[in-house]
Amino acid sequence: MLNIAALSGKIQEAFGALDRHHLNGGQRLAVKYFAVAMILFLAQLLFGLLAAIQFVWPGFLFDLVDFSVNRMVHINAMVVWMLYGFIGSVYWFLEEESGTEIVGLKWGEIAFYVLTGAVVIVVLVYLLIQTGPGNDATRWLVNEGREYIEAPRWADIGIVTVMLVFFYNVAGTFAKGRWSGISGVLTLDLVALAGLYMAGMFYSTNVTVDQYWWWWVIHLWVEATWEVLVGCIMAWSLMKLIGARRRIVQTWLYIEVALMFGSGILGLGHHYFWIGTPDYWFTIGGFFSALEPVPLVAMVVHSIYDAGVHRFRSTNHPALGWIIAHTFGNFLGAGVWGFMHTLPQINLYTHGTQWSASHGHLSFFGAYATINIAFFYLAAQRWRGNVWMGGDLKDNGWKWKWSMILLNLGVMGMTVALLIAGYEQSFIERAVEGSTWGGYFAAQNQPWFVQAMLWRLVFGVVTLAGALLLTWDLLTIGAGETRLALVLEPEEELAAEPTVAVAK
Amino acid sequence: MIRPVELHDFLLSFFASASIIVSGACYALLFAWARLAGRRAVLAWAYAAYALLAASVWLLAETAHFEGYWRVLTGAMLAGYFVAPRAVFRLCSATHAAEHDEQTRSAISRPSQENPP
């Protein structure tokens, strides 16, 4: 019989197989985070697919794994895989950016195994125990009951502890080595990342107060701390990928932080429209939500400018492809799909319908999934020994191209299907029927809604196919490649053309 | 307070909101392209996109019953979308200025190295 020590040894051995001698300590740890992130990404899609099937055939897995459980695992897996991706990305560049070894790599390793163990236990409890009586024992051990952050309280404490270890490693390593614009912004952001999560760790019997603080975690994590974290990751990636100059990417990182403070933080108001908060939130939420797309429009100008200056010369075509997908996905998902239903005059009808789900699918994919995937390709390149990932790959790069097509097509298809369902729901259930119980069922049984949910399932299958192909590609890309990568070195100070060097 | 969108204006309201962002992006894209390529014709298309944006803002203001303070939002959107691409282009030019200077310098110095006097 397998004992715990043997199991622990086997797990360590499995992750140890991911190590490569030419990676630094932080990068070896990062690869483990990326591996778990990909597993959780597939889990997210699998449980999303089960939930989508249940919309079409409500009896499917009834009383075994209900829709509420599938949806919870689907969304929690998404949040956690993205966090794993972000943490891995930061560990990946930490030693290079600071110019020194990570101060607490051992603690980082322990935190990784603790977090991964906790995630496994939480998911098993979600699936096997599912619910409990409405008391403290349930809140501490089974499910906290708050949408999107259902993890029981013990896991909450674990997440904050792991975040603090992560913060210690980042701040301590930069303090020991050298600071830069990227590292300064990143360190301050991690304080907010760990701190804001605690806003969701207390409970109030007043549902308005409870929701008020809960949104601090949901909105401010996603539209403030994650945005800045992605900005830091993107800044570093662009230096490696297209040889962008440090001074330029850092300037734009500061601009992004300023724009985020200008619109993203008070954009929080659009979640306060209907939870019992005062009327002034209509104005604050409406005004700052209307400003939130401005940074995205600004991004369009910057992309055109950079495309003109750098002509898309890059060291890693799949990563660049995913960064371009990020630009479009973020603009459409967060900008267009967000603004269409954010003002209170229309949000009155759309709030909490499939319209929100449509916006959520495209914006999370466009803003965060794409960046993580781009970084996975950067990591895969170095993991294979910094091999060639330019335009003429051995198999013509069909796997990365098709996985990108399938994933983008799948997500866009789901988004449009959910948009149709959301429009119908807002119109019939909310506007015509006045949000009555009868109106809810009238909307759910309307042919447009039913057909839209069927199409959502079809495009969900397309998305899963794309993710499976992506996994295959990440495991095989660069294997057997003998050519070394073209490296466009970012330069500290102003110099002439980006230096073209051959990797050693 | 707010006055919700009327039932018959539902689609118009969604369409106007989406059109604001899309035409705003088209204006930004065409403006940047026109300035980079130095094409006046493209600049005219950029202003056409902005005119579409202005019409969309007006449509949204009408369908969503913007009154009183909400009129400020109309002005802020019109001003913000007009100014943002220009401001960002200036920032792009400023942040890349040194890069251009260096490239120009190296382009000037290169022929003299290849053809020594």
Q: Please give the full DSSP string across B32-60, using - where no structure is assigned.
A: HHHHHHT-HHHHHHHHHHHHHHHHHHHHH
What residues have CB less than 8 Å from A430, skipping those under 6 apart? A348, A349, A350, A353, A439
Q: What is the ipTM of this complex?
A: 0.81
CB contact under 8 A, A339 and B17: yes
How do beta strands A499-502 and A486-489 pair? antiparallel
Q: How far is A337 from chain B (nearest CA, A)?
A: 7
Mutate to test the interface with A, among B2, B19, B26, B110 (most CBs of A within 10 A): B2
Sketch the domain layout of chain A as residue ranges: 1-179, 180-308, 316-479
pLDDT given at position A82: 96
pLDDT given at position A260: 76
Neighbour tally for A471: CB within 10 Å: 17
Neighbour tally for A64: CB within 10 Å: 9
Helix (H, G, I), strand (E, B) or coil at A316: strand
Residue A166, strand partner residues: none
- CATH 3.20.20.140 for domain A1-179, yes or no, is no
Is A56 an 8 Å CB contact of chain B?
Answer: no
Neighbour tally for A144: CB within 10 Å: 18
Q: How far is A456 from chain B (nearest CA, A)?
A: 21
CB contact under 8 A, A349 and B5: yes
Q: What is the DSSP letter of A102?
A: -
Percent helix, strand, coil in chain A, to 5, is 75, 0, 25
End-to-end Cα spacing for chain B: 78
| Phi, psi dihedral angles at A161 (to 5 degrees) | -60, -45
Whether A108 contacts A173, CB under 8 Å: no
- Work out the widest C-alpha separation in chain B, in whole angstroms: 80
Name the average pLDDT for chain B.
84
Is A248 an 8 Å CB contact of chain B?
Answer: yes
**The two structure tokens encoding residue B59:** 């449509």
pLDDT digits (tens, 9 = 90+) for A384-420: 888 888 888 888 999 999 999 999 999 999 999 999 9
Q: Which residue of B has its CA nearest to A247?
A: B95
- CB contacts, 8 Å: A496 with chain B: 102-103, 105-106
- CB contacts, 8 Å: B87 with chain A: 298
Whether A219 contacts A200, CB under 8 Å: no
Within the 371-430 window of chain A, which residues sit less than 8 Å (CB to CB) from chain B? 423, 426-427
DSSP H or E segment with residue A502: strand A499-502
Rounded to an integer, what distance in angstroms lies between the CA atom of residue A259 and that of residue B9? 32
Rounded to an integer, what distance in angstroms lies between the CA atom of residue A473 and that of residue A400? 6
Helix (H, G, I), strand (E, B) or coil at A484: strand
- CB contacts, 8 Å: B106 with chain A: 496-497
DSSP H or E segment with residue A45: helix A25-56
Rounded to an integer, what distance in angstroms lies between the CA atom of residue A282 and that of residue A274? 9
Q: How far is B78 from chain A (nearest CA, A)?
A: 11
| Residue A353 zone, left/alpha/beta (φ > 0; ψ -120 to 50; rest) | beta
* Measured CA angle at A383 (ends A377, A385), to 5 deg: 115
Closest CA to A500 of A376, A315, A375: A315
User: What fold characterizes domain A316-479?
Assistant: Four Helix Bundle (Hemerythrin (Met), subunit A) (1.20.120)
Low-confidence ranges of chain B (pLDDT < 70): 98-117
Rounded to an integer, what distance in angstroms lies between the CA atom of residue A484 and that of residue A243? 17
Rounded to an integer, what distance in angstroms lies between the CA atom of residue A417 and that of residue A406? 16
**The two structure tokens encoding residue A119:** 């995630």
Rounded to an integer, what distance in angstroms lies between the CA atom of residue A387 and that of residue A156? 40
Rounded to an integer, what distance in angstroms lies between the CA atom of residue A243 and that of residue A487? 8
CB contact under 8 A, B85 and A298: yes
Whether A341 contacts A359, CB under 8 Å: yes
| Residue A496 zone, left/alpha/beta (φ > 0; ψ -120 to 50; rest) | beta
Helix (H, G, I), strand (E, B) or coil at A258: helix
Q: Which pLDDT tens digits describe chain A residue by residue (504 residues)?
A: 557 777 777 776 766 666 677 899 999 999 999 999 999 999 999 999 999 999 999 999 999 999 999 999 999 999 999 999 999 999 999 999 999 999 999 999 999 999 999 999 999 999 999 999 989 999 999 998 888 889 999 999 998 899 999 999 999 999 999 999 999 999 999 999 888 888 888 888 899 999 999 999 888 888 889 988 998 998 898 888 888 888 888 888 888 788 777 778 888 999 999 999 998 999 888 888 887 777 777 766 777 777 666 666 788 999 989 988 998 898 899 889 999 999 999 999 999 999 999 999 999 999 999 999 999 999 999 998 888 888 888 889 999 999 999 999 999 999 999 999 999 999 999 999 999 999 999 999 999 999 999 999 999 999 999 999 999 999 999 888 888 887 665 544 434 333 333 332
Q: Please name the member of A283, A291, A304 whose beta carbon is closest to the beta carbon of B33.
A: A304
Helix (H, G, I), strand (E, B) or coil at A490: coil
Q: How many helices (H) and strands (E) does chain B have?
A: 3, 0
Closest CA to A397 of A322, A295, A346, A333: A322
Closest CA to A79 of A488, A391, A360, A380: A360
